[in-house]
């Protein structure tokens, strides 16, 4: 299922640029006081690749939210992952993968007039990783293949046990007294 879904998304990514986004806003209390925060998780799919990006922004309290609120959002806009990469000055590429991170901190003086913003520090940190859909598909194909390998191994062990052979090496154990004379394993 996951494997078929991944391959579907992989193929689809050459025609459509999908984006899924989750934004969580709330308030947080740290040693430096109370802050509003905005946590963004963004996943984009385009041209055979997937990007996962997080952006955490924190600013001096301008409003109080008791419970953090999360919102999901999906769209099918033109999103070049190249434009995502350009957000990071330290973008690195390796075997079709890409990584970047950024951290910005700035002091704000605060405003007395509406909208009133208290003085303090605004900080924003972001991380992004880009990887090929093929890698995701590969991972989902390895799991069923591994499962099939274990199942086949178990079947051959059972077959050996039924035929009275060593479970370990297949040596005929009839009259061997339970210990394999070939490999020393205790049969059973």
Min CB(165)–Zn ion separation in Å: 8
Q: How far apart are CA 175 and CA 188, in angstroms?
A: 13
Contact pattern from residue 143 through residue 172 relative to Zn ion, giving x for each residue in contact according to CB under 5 A and a dash for the rest: -----------------------x-xx-x-
Min CB(55)–Zn ion separation in Å: 59
Question: Is residue 173 at the binding interface for Zn ion, with CB under 5 A as the rule?
Answer: no
Residue numbers 91-150 binding Zn ion by CB under 5 A? none
Q: How far apart are CA 179 and CA 174, in angstroms?
A: 10
Min CB(179)–Zn ion separation in Å: 9
Task: Identify which of residues 143 and 183 has a Cβ nearer to Zn ion in the complex.
Answer: 183
Task: Identify which of residues 2 and 169 has a Cβ nearer to Zn ion in the complex.
Answer: 169
Q: At what angle do helices 2-12 and 133-162 cross, to 10 degrees?
A: 160
Q: How many residues bind Zn ion (CB under 5 A)?
A: 8
110 within 8 A of 120, measured Cβ to Cβ = yes
Min CB(22)–Zn ion separation in Å: 55
HEC readout, 17-64: CEEEEEEEEEEEEECCEEEEEEEEEEEEEECCEEEEEEEEEEEECCCC
DSSP state at residue 135: H
Task: Identify which of residues 52 and 176 has a Cβ nearer to Zn ion in the complex.
Answer: 176
Min CB(97)–Zn ion separation in Å: 45
Task: Identify which of residues 136 and 166 has a Cβ nearer to Zn ion in the complex.
Answer: 166
Task: Identify which of residues 49 and 160 has a Cβ nearer to Zn ion in the complex.
Answer: 160
Q: How far apart are CA 86 and CA 94, in angstroms?
A: 16
Calculate the CA dihedral of residues 132, 135, 138, 140 and round it to 10 degrees: -90
Nearest by Cα to 40 from 29, 30, 26, 61: 26
- Kindly list the residues in this chain that would bind Zn ion in the complex (CB under 5 A): 166, 168-169, 171, 180, 182-183, 185
């Amino acid at each position: 299922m996951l494997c078929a879904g991944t391959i579907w998304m992989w193929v689809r990514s050459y025609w459509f640029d999908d984006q899924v986004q989750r934004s969580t806003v709330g308030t947080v209390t740290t040693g430096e006081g109370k802050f509003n925060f905005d946590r963004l998780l963004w996943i984009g799919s385009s041209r055979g690749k997937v990007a996962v990006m997080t952006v955490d922004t924190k600013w001096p309290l301008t409003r109080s939210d008791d419970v953090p609120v999360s919102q999901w959002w999906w769209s099918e806009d033109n999103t070049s992952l190249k434009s995502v990469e350009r957000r990071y000055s330290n973008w690195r590429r390796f075997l079709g993968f890409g990584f970047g991170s950024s951290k910005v901190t700035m002091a704000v003086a605060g405003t007395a007039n509406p909208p009133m913003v208290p003085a303090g520090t605004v900080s924003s940190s972001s991380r992004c990783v880009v990887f090929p859909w093929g890698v995701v598909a590969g991972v989902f194909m390895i799991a069923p293949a591994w499962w099939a390998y274990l199942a086949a191994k178990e079947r051959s062990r059972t077959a050996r046990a039924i035929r009275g052979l060593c479970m370990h090496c297949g040596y005929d154990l009839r009259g061997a007294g339970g210990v394999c004379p070939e490999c020393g394993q205790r049969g059973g």
